[in-house]
């Protein structure tokens, strides 16, 4: 009998890769993957445990699956990922309907539980089965994190940094490209400290240069989650020299007040962050920078906030995500007093978003009339959605095109009009 399985993957791109690896281990087994949980015999939920809102989403998903199990629709419920890695005993006690809880990297144990067969961690069956569109894929180069930022619980869930060897990464990258992937998105908790833990002492600049040697089938390499304190000139030069690397960098700065940055243990003050930005823009003049910020960190004064606000207005990041501070159990920041009121956190976030909307609109208006190459992500009979090299999937600008176009194809377009987060374009004949 073929088991029907529904996999629900929550949280970040790193979680998505874990889900894809599990699917890779199951695809040659007597298991059919179904998209509708109500049609499944088994449900696997890959949870996120970072920030209150993500934990709530994970628990809600588990409880919805429990309801299906209580109705007799679902026979087996498995929970994996960061939330169950961090709170296994609490979850077992509070949600006993779950059959098994696993951690983030227990792929072979989960596959064995679901199939009744033994699997090795290095089993070739664990080649990934992509959950993204087939033309782009995330390439995870390391697991865990050594940084110890005071607000972050990732090391508590994912452990210390464990970098993969360049040869292992290149083998996976080659398989992905041979399978039709045209864009690789390089991810880790901190990509810029890649290799620091390896005996061979490989580093991100070397990895970038290696990835750039992949064949003509690969067009774009995109780097995410660069820690500004670890962004060396060698990395910047490797990005500038590599033709396949997008003129784009995701570099979370978290704040711009020296006092807050020091309390967060971020390793750089405002001038250091500004220096990294200036170096990037000097080496790669057309680069687009994405960052993330936290408002309402404990002790954030009006002065701290205005330093952050002024910095955002001065630097003009191209893409910006903002979180309000969420206290994480067992982190250093959880022991800090002087918490900022909820409403103040929200007001500060909203004001910064308004400022960023104006910046985003101004920058997009500068693209009107310009010719760009775009990659088609979605298509229907009447409209297609694409991206430029300046935009990462799911989080950045999209380009709207009239008509149906082949998903995964590159098209030359001219930008006709824009708003804050969308570009409207015509095909160049």
Q: Looking at residue 122, what is its pLDDT?
A: 58
DSSP 278: H
CATH of the domain at 390: 2.40.50.140
Residue 376 belongs to domain spanning: 371-427
- The residue from 348, 365, 382 where one domain ends is 365
Q: Looking at residue 28, what is its pLDDT?
A: 73
User: Based on the domain organization, do 242 and 266 belong to the same domain?
Assistant: yes
Instruction: Provide the residue count of the chain.
Output: 429
User: Based on the domain organization, do 263 and 150 belong to the same domain?
Assistant: yes
User: Based on the domain organization, do 43 and 182 belong to the same domain?
Assistant: no
Dihedral Cα 257, 303, 340, 329, nearest 10 deg: 20
Q: Is 261 helix (H, G, I), strand (E, B) or coil?
A: helix
Q: Looking at residue 64, what is its pLDDT?
A: 92
Q: Looking at residue 343, what is its pLDDT?
A: 96
Residue pair 39/9 in contact (Cβ under 8 Å)? The answer is no
User: Based on the domain organization, do 347 and 198 belong to the same domain?
Assistant: yes
User: Based on the domain organization, do 118 and 130 belong to the same domain?
Assistant: no
Residue pair 406/376 in contact (Cβ under 8 Å)? The answer is yes
Q: Beta-strand (E) ranges in 224-287?
A: 245-250
User: Based on the domain organization, do 147 and 267 belong to the same domain?
Assistant: yes
- Cα separation, 206 vs 251, in Å, equals 19
User: Based on the domain organization, do 206 and 310 belong to the same domain?
Assistant: yes
User: Based on the domain organization, do 408 and 345 belong to the same domain?
Assistant: no
CA distances from 126 to 119, 123, 130, 227 (A): 9, 6, 12, 30
Q: Which two tokens stand for residue 226?
A: 């660069």
- Cα separation, 273 vs 262, in Å, equals 13
Q: Looking at residue 386, what is its pLDDT?
A: 97
User: Based on the domain organization, do 37 and 166 belong to the same domain?
Assistant: no
DSSP 330: T
- The residue from 73, 97, 122 where one domain ends is 122
Q: Which residues of the chain have pLDDT under 70?
A: 119-126
User: Based on the domain organization, do 75 and 96 belong to the same domain?
Assistant: yes
CATH of the domain at 53: 3.40.50.12160
- Could you give the number of structural domains in the chain? 3
- Give pLDDT tens digits for 241-270: 999 999 999 999 999 999 999 999 999 999
User: Based on the domain organization, do 387 and 359 belong to the same domain?
Assistant: no
User: Based on the domain organization, do 97 and 164 belong to the same domain?
Assistant: no
CA distances from 292 to 201, 256, 258, 299 (A): 29, 11, 16, 19
- The residue from 350, 365, 380 where one domain ends is 365
Dihedral sign (CA 148, 150, 153, 156):
positive
Helix segments in 116-222, DSSP class H = 154-158, 166-178, 204-211
CATH of the domain at 147: 3.80.30.20
């Amino acid at each position: 009998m073929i088991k029907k399985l529904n996999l629900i993957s929550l949280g970040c791109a790193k979680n998505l890769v874990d889900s894809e690896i599990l699917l890779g281990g199951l695809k040659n087994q007597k298991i059919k993957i179904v998209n509708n949980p109500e049609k499944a015999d088994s449900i696997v939920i890959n949870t996120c445990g970072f920030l209150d809102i993500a934990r709530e989403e994970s628990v809600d998903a588990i409880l919805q699956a429990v309801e299906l199990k209580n109705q007799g629709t679902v026979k087996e419920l498995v929970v994996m990922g960061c939330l169950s890695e961090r709170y296994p005993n609490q979850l077992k006690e509070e949600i006993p309907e779950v059959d098994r809880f696993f951690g983030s990297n227990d792929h072979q144990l989960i596959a064995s539980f679901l199939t009744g067969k033994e699997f090795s961690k290095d089993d070739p069956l664990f080649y990934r089965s992509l959950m993204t569109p087939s033309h782009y894929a995330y390439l995870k180069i390391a697991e865990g994190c050594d940084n110890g930022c005071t607000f972050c619980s990732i090391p508590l869930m994912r452990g210390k940094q464990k970098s993969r060897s360049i040869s292992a990464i290149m083998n996976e990258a080659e398989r992905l490209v041979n399978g039709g992937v045209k864009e690789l998105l390089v991810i880790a908790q901190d990509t810029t400290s890649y290799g620091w833990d390896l005996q061979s002492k490989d580093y991100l600049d070397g990895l970038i240069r290696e990835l750039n040697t992949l064949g003509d089938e690969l067009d774009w390499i995109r780097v995410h989650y660069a820690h500004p304190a670890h962004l060396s000139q060698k990395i910047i030069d490797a990005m500038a020299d590599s033709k396949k690397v997008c003129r784009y960098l995701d570099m979370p700065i978290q704040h711009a007040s020296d006092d807050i940055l020091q309390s967060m243990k971020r390793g750089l003050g405002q001038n250091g962050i500004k220096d990294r930005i200036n170096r990037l823009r000097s080496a790669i003049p057309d680069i687009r920078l994405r960052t993330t910020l936290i408002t309402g960190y404990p002790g954030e004064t009006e002065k701290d906030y205005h330093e952050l606000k002024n910095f955002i207005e001065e630097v003009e990041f191209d893409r910006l995500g903002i979180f309000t501070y969420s206290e994480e159990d067992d982190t250093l920041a959880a022991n800090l007093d002087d918490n900022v009121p909820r409403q103040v956190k929200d007001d500060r976030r909203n004001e910064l978003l308004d400022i960023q909307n104006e910046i985003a609109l101004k920058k997009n208006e500068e693209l009107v009339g310009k010719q760009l190459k775009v990659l088609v992500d979605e298509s229907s009979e009447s409209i297609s959605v694409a991206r430029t090299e300046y935009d990462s999937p799911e989080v950045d600008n999209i380009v709207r095109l009239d008509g149906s176009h082949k998903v995964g194809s590159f098209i030359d377009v001219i930008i006709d009009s824009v708003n804050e987060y969308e570009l409207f374009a015509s095909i160049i004949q």
